[in-house]
């Protein structure tokens, strides 16, 4: 049975998966700058005898082909790291100071390399093609997924399905979490500039205080979420950067703010943009100031196609065991994998990487983030099994 062969191969490859992950973890690179990462992946694909083509700068499109006939399934891993100083001291600690694979993309790449080798070894046992997408720049707008799609990774032919996975430290190694429909939120970047008239802090009547205006704007905008949004539609509005470059006795001319708006419903997303801008501009004008409210539209809502996700869930239960496949809760983080779902049937699930018995492990994007590397063969084998099941090849 192919299922048992896949399991054996995944376990056999575990040491090389760990080695790949640690090599990639040591040399993380920021979005759109993944040159060394890309070179390493290309060299590993060459070693495996898997043909590849460069796409979207540092991105890679590779294919494992079985016997003639059959369909095409696409599998995706992202490549970039984050501007975070790693706090832990593992032997494979980042050598690029201030850059860290704190979101697990090193594990995604290593796992997909493992999937690639499993499929290559089994290429005589299936019909069709498995397309491997190593995608740059998931962490930074405008993201690499849309660029990869523009460069044809979902063309000639269009795949029947695109599958992706993401590490999840809150879920124990050996488990996955999955759900049909909306899984992850849209994400927009907000840049707000409040202009007033600065001066001496002891003479506020002679000034137009942009700090006070900014404070009113921040508080008032929360009503967009708490009072204007449908309470059944998850929404988040947060400002994480506020700069008022005055002093204890100096009211500045300008305050700048940056934040994020996220939701699970595209129609409300567009409406909220209008409401936020109108509210902020109105408040500033009413207080004698001016407001410039810019919105950089980011990734859309990530929606798992219903029938595909149901089929992937069945495959995961067969491969891992029914008790190791749990329901995912909607997550207000965002992912540019969502763009693949706009062009083809897509399914994205969460791969458990937490150590057994560890309560409240360091989260994604934490300087202490790490994984249970036992998740690597789980992810590699599961993706191979799902791909071959979608091609109708597993017996």
Annotated catalytic residues are 80, 138
| CA neighbours closer than 13 Å in the CB half-sphere of residue 58 | 23
DSSP-assigned beta bridge partners for residue 327 = 178
Closest to 388 measured CA to CA, from 173, 142, 126, 171: 126
The gap from C-alpha 300 to its chain's centroid, in whole angstroms, comes to 12
Sign of CA dihedral 226, 228, 234, 240: negative
> Residue 244: which residues within 8 A CB-CB, separation 6 or more?
210, 211, 214, 252, 255
DSSP 169: E
Closest to 24 measured CA to CA, from 45, 39, 2: 39
Nearest 5°: CA angle at 85, between 82 and 89?
Answer: 115
In the sheet that holds 59-65, the strands lie side by side as: 52-55, 59-65, 127-135, 67-78, 161-172, 346-354, 176-178, 325-327
DSSP string, 234-264: -EEEEEEEEEE--BTTEE-SEEEEEEEEEES
């Amino acid at each position: 049975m192919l299922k048992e062969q896949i399991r054996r191969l995944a376990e056999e490859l575990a040491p090389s998966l760990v080695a790949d992950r640690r090599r990639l973890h040591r040399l993380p690179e920021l979005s759109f700058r993944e040159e060394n990462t890309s070179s390493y992946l290309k060299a590993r694909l060459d070693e495996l005898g898997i043909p590849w083509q460069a796409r979207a700068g540092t991105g890679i499109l590779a294919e494992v082909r079985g016997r003639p006939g059959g369909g095409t399934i696409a599998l995706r891993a992202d490549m970039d790291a984050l501007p975070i100083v790693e706090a832990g001291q593992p032997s494979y600690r980042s050598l690029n100071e201030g850059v860290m694979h704190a979101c697990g993309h090193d594990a995604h790449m290593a796992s997909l390399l493992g999937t690639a080798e499993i499929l290559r070894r089994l290429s005589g046992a299936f019909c069709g093609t498995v397309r491997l997408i190593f995608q740059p720049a998931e962490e930074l707008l405008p993201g690499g997924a849309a660029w990869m799609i523009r460069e044809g990774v979902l063309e000639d032919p269009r795949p029947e399905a695109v599958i992706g996975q993401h590490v999840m430290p809150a879920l124990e190694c050996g488990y996955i979490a999955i759900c049909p429909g909306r899984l992850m939120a849209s994400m927009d970047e907000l840049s707000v500039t409040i202009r007033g008239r600065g001066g001496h802090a002891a003479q506020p009547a002679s000034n137009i205080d942009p700090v006070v205006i900014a404070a009113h704007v921040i508080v008032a905008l929360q009503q967009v979420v708490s009072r204007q949004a449908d309470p059944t539609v998850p929404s988040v509005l947060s400002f994480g950067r506020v700069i008022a470059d005055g002093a204890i006795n100096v009211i500045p001319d300008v305050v700048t703010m940056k934040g994020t708006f996220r939701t699970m419903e595209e129609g409300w997303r567009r409406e909220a943009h209008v409401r936020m801008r109108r509210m902020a501009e109105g408040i500033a004008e009413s207080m004698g100031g001016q407001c410039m409210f810019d919105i950089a539209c980011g990734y859309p809502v990530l929606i798992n196609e219903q029938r595909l996700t149901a089929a992937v869930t069945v495959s995961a239960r067969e491969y891992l065991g029914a008790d190791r496949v749990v329901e995912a809760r909607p997550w207000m983080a965002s992912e540019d994998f969502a763009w693949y779902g706009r062009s083809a049937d897509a399914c994205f699930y969460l791969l458990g990487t937490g150590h057994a018995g560890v309560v409240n492990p360091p989260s994604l994007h934490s300087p202490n983030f790490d994984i249970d590397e036992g998740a690597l063969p789980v992810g590699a084998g599961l993706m191979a099994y799902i791909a071959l099941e979608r091609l109708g090849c597993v017996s």
